[in-house]
């Protein structure tokens, strides 16, 4: 899943070695989305492993160009970061371009790689955000969820909050035991449900 920040290829190598693996053992790289902190080592990882790269259709062009803009902020501090990022830190949005091998739109069966696994579309953070769901055991969700703050898993950045909450409902319906975000510790299903209910209640109170 994903390929980390630029300059972190050594960290990927160490993680592989700790699990008695090599780059050649990687056969598929699934991009939850194409922000630089998830694609920074993609080109090098693909070169070393010769693995296929899977991405959502709406971010295919970004991956081929090697640049994806910062998403909108969902909180006051992240709104400021987003504005500064898209105006003064454009270089931080860039990464080495990669041509994808597999382009998906909605659900995509990954059973030939992992029994019971599939990719589902979970937009909101970005238009092409996707998640890897493995049965009802685990879901790898990229930045659709964050687990940095103990009281909430709502991401500080999202381009479309309505779509994001629909994706949360889709993840809840998957009924996985554990959700693995791109940032922070694993999230149990109960915490995701509580965060979703609080966010929906807040929205309804504003209506």
Phi, psi of 83 (to 5 degrees): -65, -45
pLDDT > 90: percent of the chain:
80
For the stretch 38-83, pLDDT in tens is 999 999 999 999 999 999 999 999 999 999 987 876 765 656 666 6
pLDDT at position 202 over 90 = no
What letter does residue 44 receive in the DSSP assignment?
A: H
Confidence of residue 150 (pLDDT cuts 50, 70, 90): confident
**Residue 35 neighbours by CB under 8 Å, 6+ apart:** 68, 70, 71, 93, 126, 143
pLDDT at position 97 over 70 = yes
Angstrom CA distances, 69 to 6, 38, 42, 63, 98, stand at 16, 13, 17, 11, 16
Confidence of residue 161 (pLDDT cuts 50, 70, 90): very high
Residue range 114-121: average pLDDT? 97
Residue range 78-107: average pLDDT? 77
pTM of the model: 0.91
């Amino acid at each position: 899943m994903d390929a980390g920040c630029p300059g972190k290829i050594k960290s990927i190598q160490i993680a592989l070695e700790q699990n008695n693996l090599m780059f050649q053992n990687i056969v598929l790289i699934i991009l939850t989305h194409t922000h630089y902190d998830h694609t920074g080592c993609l080109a090098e990882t693909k070169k070393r492993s010769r693995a296929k790269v899977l991405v959502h259709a709406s971010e295919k062009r970004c991956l081929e160009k090697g640049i994806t803009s910062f998403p909108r902020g969902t909180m006051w501090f992240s709104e400021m970061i987003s504005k500064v990022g898209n105006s003064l830190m454009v270089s931080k949005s860039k990464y080495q371009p990669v041509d994808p091998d597999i382009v998906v739109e909605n659900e995509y069966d990954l059973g030939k790689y992992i029994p019971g696994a599939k990719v589902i579309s979970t937009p909101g953070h970005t238009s092409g955000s996707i998640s890897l769901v493995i049965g009802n055991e685990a879901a790898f969700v990229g930045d659709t969820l964050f687990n940095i703050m103990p009281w909430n898993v709502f991401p500080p950045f999202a381009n479309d909050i309505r779509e994001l909450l629909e994706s949360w409902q889709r993840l809840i319906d998957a009924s996985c035991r554990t959700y693995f975000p791109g940032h922070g510790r694993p999230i149990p299903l109960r915490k995701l449900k509580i965060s979703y209910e609080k966010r929906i209640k807040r929205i309804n109170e504003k209506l």
